[in-house]
Structure 1
Amino acid sequence: MKAAYYEHQGTALDVLKIGDVPTPVPGPGEVRVRVVISGVNPSDIKGRNGFKGPMPFKRIIPHQDGAGVIESVGEGVSEASIGERVWMFEAQNGRPFGTAAQFVVLPASNVVPLADHVSFETGASLGIPALTAHYCLFADGELSGKRVLVQGGAGVVGEAAIQLAKWAGAWVATTIRHADDCATVKASGADLVINMREENVDATINAATHGRGVDRIVEVDPIANLDIDTACLAKGGTISIYAVTTPDAVLSVPVMKSMGNCSVLRFVLVYNIPNEAKRRAIRDVTSCLARGAYRPTMGLTVPLEQIAQAHDALDARGVKGKVLVSIDSSPPARD
């Protein structure tokens, strides 16, 4: 099969190769999926460039997320699933080979049925963004009637958080840094949009909430934003941090203020989210998709041969929306 892979860490153009590798065979409890679309995430970049540490395997086919069609199954998996449209998550977590290939083998528990009305592009845009956003939002209980602040709502996790929070019945505020992102976050359902370069975030939040603040904050840049977050967090509220700009970042927390507010500071890494929380997220994302309330923005789609350009575009933050790699445009139909 054709795949993209790297055997050394470095820049995308230097280390990513396209070539033929053995087609994987599913073992017990596994399925083999013919990949139609592979999703690119920042963690794929961080694995390739060394941000996350040294290579755990001699050769890596990158990418955790994707969508396609189940082509074969291993022992213990029903053959009735063959031909089923699915989306995938954590395909390369703890394994050498991800979705940047014509086929991928992964545990059956890591594939989710994809309804016929949902595109493969949307399916490949779920995974890391949706599961991360869901845990940030729901780890501390239901959202109906709650107030949420999504920092960086124009990003893929931020967009997912806005849409899931609105689906769940929350009031949602979000921050942006560029005026042209306003239309995007409003289309996702944001009730209040704050341009961080032009407005005082905590003053705007407190005015909009009559001084009550927000119950949940989904945070993409804690080093820059923690003071803002603590200034507009309601009593008993939660700040969920899911990203960091450097691997050795150190966060200074205003302890007395946080204690007085009974605040929760939650750190979220999608791979370590409890399994039950992931199952809850999958159920909710499926319901959100069925209602047409989950609509990820597609930013860039390239063929497998241009995967290095996709990595570079994401790394340079040169794309608004999801970055995708097209693998197979004509998957087999289900019998």
Structure 2
Amino acid sequence: PDEVSLESGAVLGIPGLTAAHCVFGGGAVTGKTVLISGGAGTVGYLAVQLAKWGGAKVIATGSPRDFDRMTAAGADHVVDYRSETLAADILAANGGACLDMAVEVEFGVNVGLLAEVMAENARVAIYGSAKNMAPEIPFGPLLFKALTLDIVLIYILPEAPRAEAISQLHAALTEGALDLPIAHVFPPQEAARAHEAVEAGGRAGAVLVGF
């Protein structure tokens, strides 16, 4: 949109489209409860904001150091992803009821958890599994809940759903529903430092190279 800065546009790119398709790829989320793992990550942070903008109740997992940030983004409840009672914590945050949808960054680690906390016929949008790329899947529990596992790779998303994701992003941006923090903008001659900043992690915002 015309009123959105080039810097904000640069923050979106693949993360923005991924978040939008994960949240809205199965239809409207109004009135649903959405679980977002890694709610302080690049995609997760946008997904929290988009799901809340879309009318969902949002439960986000992450590190305690990021609880305030996820809450500010719109999460109704935040849960420590390292909790030994993570499934129970998530269900408690939803009044004991199972959840309607999930946006998942670490499928291999969390597949057992998802089988436990998701409702029947729920959708799980999966965009990552870096910690375990060859997970063992508890097919029985997934089967008897008839969960939809929707693997998202935005690079090869067909034209129609891509256009819909762009439309959702534009609408959210136009309504001022997205906060797009920028941690640092490096000049082109310091592009190597930009890569180092990304590799170091621990930042609360995007790293850009500006011309």
TM-score when scaled to structure 1? 0.60
- The separation in 2 between residues aligned to 1:317 and 1:221, in whole angstroms, is 17
Deviates more, 1:195-204 or 1:146-155: 195-204
**What is the SS of the residue equivalent to 1:194?**
strand
Structure-2 residue corresponding to 1:221: 106
- The separation in 2 between residues aligned to 1:244 and 1:325, in whole angstroms, is 28
- The separation in 1 between residues aligned to 2:76 and 2:46, in whole angstroms, is 15
Structure 1: segments with no counterpart, 5+ residues: 1-113, 328-335
**Which protein is richer in strand relative to its size?**
1
Q: Deviations over 1:195-239 (max 9, x none)?
A: 223463211221232332111111111122222222111111122
Q: How does 1:95-106 map to 2 (within 5 A)?
A: none
Correspondence 1:241 to 2:126 = yes
**What is the SS of the residue equivalent to 1:149?**
strand
Q: Deviations over 1:156-190 (max 9, x none)?
A: 1001101110111000010112x221121111100
- The separation in 2 between residues aligned to 1:229 and 1:260, in whole angstroms, is 13
Correspondence 1:283 to 2:167 = yes
**Distance apart, 1:140 and its partner CA:** 1.6
Structure 2 residue identity aligned to 1:240: A
- The separation in 2 between residues aligned to 1:219 and 1:115, in whole angstroms, is 32
Given that residues 48 and 75 in structure 2 are in contact (C-alpha distance below 8 angstroms), is that contact kept between their aligned partners in structure 1? yes
Structure-2 residue corresponding to 1:325: 209
In structure 1, which of residues 109, 119, 133 is the aligned counterpart of residue 19 of structure 2? 133
TM-score when scaled to structure 2? 0.93
Structure 1 residue identity aligned to 2:96: G
Given that residues 237 and 262 in structure 1 are in contact (C-alpha distance below 8 angstroms), is that contact kept between their aligned partners in structure 2? yes
**What is the SS of the residue equivalent to 1:286?**
helix
Q: How many residues align?
A: 211
Change (3 A) 1:184 1:125: same
Structure 2 residue identity aligned to 1:160: L
Structure-1 residue corresponding to 2:52: 166
RMSD: 1.7
Question: What percent of counterpart residues are identical?
Answer: 37
Structure-1 residue corresponding to 2:5: 119
Structure-2 residue corresponding to 1:265: 149
- The separation in 2 between residues aligned to 1:190 and 1:150, in whole angstroms, is 9
Structure 2: segments with no counterpart, 5+ residues: none
Structure 1 residue identity aligned to 2:24: F
Given that residues 213 and 232 in structure 1 are in contact (C-alpha distance below 8 angstroms), is that contact kept between their aligned partners in structure 2? yes
Q: Deviations over 1:34-93 (max 9, x none)?
A: xxxxxxxxxxxxxxxxxxxxxxxxxxxxxxxxxxxxxxxxxxxxxxxxxxxxxxxxxxxx
- After the TM superposition, list the runs of 4 or more consecutive aligned residues in structure 1 that deviate by more than 3 angstroms: none
